[in-house]
């Protein structure tokens, strides 16, 4: 029983260390840290993806990008980090 508890705890701790979760609320510095990239890289990627979808940062922050364009932005961010 003790071995099982120690194993479960060690797996839980290593999983928590591997993937920190950040609630960034649109803060670019926090998002860059969460995604493990420089803020400049994050800014370049989000601007490129928004431009490709025909959306602006203001629309993105206000959650006002229509779903088809928002899906394009998300796919672009997945592809480019």
The Cα 3–Cα 5 span in angstroms is: 6
The pTM (predicted TM-score) of the whole model is 0.60
pLDDT band at 73; cut points 50, 70, 90: very high
**What is the longest distance spanned by two Cα atoms in the chain?**
57
Q: State residue 65's pLDDT score.
A: 94
Q: State residue 1's pLDDT score.
A: 58
Termini Cα distance of the chain: 42
Cβ–Cβ < 8 Å for 65, 53: yes
Cα–Cα–Cα angle for 65, 51, 72, rounded to 5 degrees: 55
Interhelix angle for 39-53 vs 67-80, to 10°? 140
Domain boundary assignment for the chain: 25-80
pLDDT in tens, 13-63: 554 454 455 677 778 788 778 878 888 888 899 999 999 999 999 999 899
């Amino acid at each position: 029983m003790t071995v099982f508890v120690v194993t479960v705890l060690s797996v839980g701790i290593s999983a928590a260390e591997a993937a920190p979760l950040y609630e960034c609320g649109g803060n670019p510095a926090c998002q860059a840290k969460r995604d493990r990239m420089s803020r400049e890289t994050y800014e370049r990627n989000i601007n490129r993806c928004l431009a490709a979808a025909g959306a602006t940062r203001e629309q993105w922050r206000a959650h006002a990008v229509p779903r088809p364009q928002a899906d394009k932005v998300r796919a672009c961010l997945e592809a480019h980090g």
